[in-house]
A and B are shown apart, each in its own frame.
Chain A
Amino acid sequence: DAMVIQNPRYQVTQFGKPVTLSCSQTLNHNVMYWYQQKSSQAPKLLFHYYDKDFNNEADTPDNFQSRRPNTSFCFLDIRSPGLGDTAMYLCATSRGGQGEKLFFGSGTQLSVL
C-alpha cells in the first residue's frame, strides 16, 4: 500500500506557466519534505514543514513555494518555471527527530519546455 503518494507521475509545462505538484501521506507524520533531484545529481532539499511550521532552505529560489493545508497533504508550487527547473521532485515524510527515516513517494518528473 502506497504511503506517500505523489501526483502526477509526469508533468509537462511550458516555460513561465505556473505548475502545482501534490503529495499526500497516510502515515500521519509530522514532517513533510520536498526535494529536487536533477539528472545524475543528489536530491536537494527545497523546504519542509514540521506540522504547520514552514522551513525554507537558504538557497531555495523564491520561484518555489509550498502549502500544507492539513497533515495529509502538501503542495509544491512553481510560479514561473524555467528550463532549469526540469527535474524529479520528491516528496518525503518522517515523524521528525533524530534517527527517524524518511519515507519517499515515487516522485513527479517535471519537464519544462
Chain B
Amino acid sequence: QSALTQPPSASGSPGQSVTISCTGTSSDVGGYKFVSWFQQHPGKAPKLMIYEVTKRPSGVPDRFSGSKSGNTASLTVSGLQAEDEADYYCSSYGGSNNVIFGGGTKLTVL
C-alpha cells in the first residue's frame, strides 16, 4: 500500500493556527478510526499527539486537535508556539494487519 499523502511543509506565525492534511483512501484513512498524529523533533523519537482521529493523550496541549472528513484526516495546531516547530507524521491502520504512515510535514514557526 502507498504512503499517506501529506504536504512537505507548513508554516505559521506565533499565535496563529495551522492545519496539516493527511490523505489516504477508503481502505485506510476513510475506512477506520485508527488515525494518529506524531510530532518528531530533530534527533528525538516520535511522540503521539492525536489518536483515533480526535483523541489527545494525557499531557498533550489542547492546542492540538484532529479531525477527519472522508479519506482525509487533519491536524490543527492553534496558538502556534516556537516549540511546535517539528516534523509531523500521520498514520492509519491499513486494513491488512498493517500501519501506513504519511511522508511527514515540516512545520515552521515563523
Is B a genuine binding partner of A? no
Query: Which chain B residues have a beta carbon within 8 Å of chain A's beta carbons?
Result: none
Q: A interface vs B, CB < 8 Å? A: none
